[in-house]
């Protein structure tokens, strides 16, 4: 009987020791668990350029360095939009983003230009592609896809955690009745705003019809 009681006591003591050991190990593990380091985004807008790998743009693009808050007009249509009723054109250009970790957030607001009404042209799609080999200009290849207002007058792209790199910003335009669209008319206004600690975090880009 004494042996049975001693055995039970030893077993109980071992169980208590194991429980305390497990508790100590858990507390120690929690105590040394590394604290998550917040990501610091220092990306910024660098330049606009003619896409290197993605073909199909209907714009002529002059490479332009972006300065913070600037309004730039680096692109115009290669073709005269007047007379393109029923056709889809691609207002597309390269956008380079530089800086560690890129942008925390990117907001792009796109509107028809001052000279264009929805009776003349409408926005069909807005999206962003990677400017990489093998990528074709199609919304199915988009890394960031925008939403378009039902009347086609405006669109927006909202993206989070945008890495540094080269991208192609695309707005697909559908011509409706273009007989009143003149050369040099303002076709699109695109306002860019980024959440980042980088210096160049906003700019506006205007696109015009063919110059002559």
- pLDDT, tens only, 97-123: 999 999 999 999 999 999 999 999 999
Average pLDDT over the chain reads 90
pLDDT for residue 14? 60
Smallest CA-to-CA distance from 64 within 161, 212, 200 is with: 200
What is the average per-residue pLDDT within 190-210? 98
pLDDT for residue 31? 53
Fill in the DSSP letter of residue 141: G
- Residue 127: count of CB within 10 angstroms of its CB: 22
Look up tokens 């080269």; give the residue: 166
For residue range 19-57, what is the model confidence (pLDDT) as tens digits? 655 665 554 555 555 566 788 999 999 999 999 999 999
Say which residue, 122 or 16, is predicted with more confidence: 122
What is the average per-residue pLDDT within 153-169? 98
- Kindly tell me the burial class for residue 64, based on how many C-beta atoms sit within 10 Å of its own C-beta (0-12, 13-18, 19 or more): middle
Tokens of 60: 């002529």
Fill in the DSSP letter of residue 30: H
**From CA 114, how far away is CA 83, in angstroms rounded?**
19
pLDDT for residue 2? 46
Tokens of 35: 């604290």
pLDDT for residue 36? 67
Give the percent of the chain with pLDDT over 70: 83
pLDDT for residue 26? 53
Smallest CA-to-CA distance from 153 within 109, 209, 103, 92 is with: 109
Fill in the DSSP letter of residue 46: E
Give the percent of the chain with pLDDT over 90: 82
For residue range 59-71, what is the model confidence (pLDDT) as tens digits? 999 999 999 999 9
- Residue 76: count of CB within 10 angstroms of its CB: 22
3-state SS of the chain: helix, strand, coil percent to 5?
Answer: 15, 45, 40
What is this structure's pTM?
0.83
Cross-strand bridge partners of residue 76 = 60, 208
């Amino acid at each position: 009987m004494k042996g049975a009681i001693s055995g039970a006591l030893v077993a109980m003591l071992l169980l208590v020791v194991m429980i305390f050991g497990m508790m100590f190990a858990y507390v120690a593990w929690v105590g040394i668990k590394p604290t998550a380091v917040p990501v610091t985004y220092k990306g910024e807008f660098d330049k606009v350029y003619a896409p290197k790998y993605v073909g199909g743009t209907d714009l002529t693009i002059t490479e332009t360095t972006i300065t913070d808050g600037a309004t730039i007009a680096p692109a115009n249509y290669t073709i005269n939009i007047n007379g393109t009723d029923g056709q889809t054109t691609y207002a597309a250009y390269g956008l380079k983003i530089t800086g560690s970790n890129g942008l925390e957030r990117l907001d792009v607001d796109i509107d028809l230009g001052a000279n264009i009404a929805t009776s003349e042209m409408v926005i069909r799609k807005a999206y962003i592609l990677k400017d990489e080999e093998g990528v074709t200009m199609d919304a199915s290849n988009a890394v960031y896809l925008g939403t378009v207002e039902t009347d086609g007058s405006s669109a927006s792209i909202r993206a989070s955690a945008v890495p540094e790199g080269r991208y192609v910003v695309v707005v697909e335009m559908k011509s409706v009745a273009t007989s009143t669209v003149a050369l040099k008319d303002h076709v699109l206004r695109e306002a860019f705003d980024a959440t980042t600690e980088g210096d160049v975090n906003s700019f506006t880009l205007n696109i015009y019809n063919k110059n002559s």
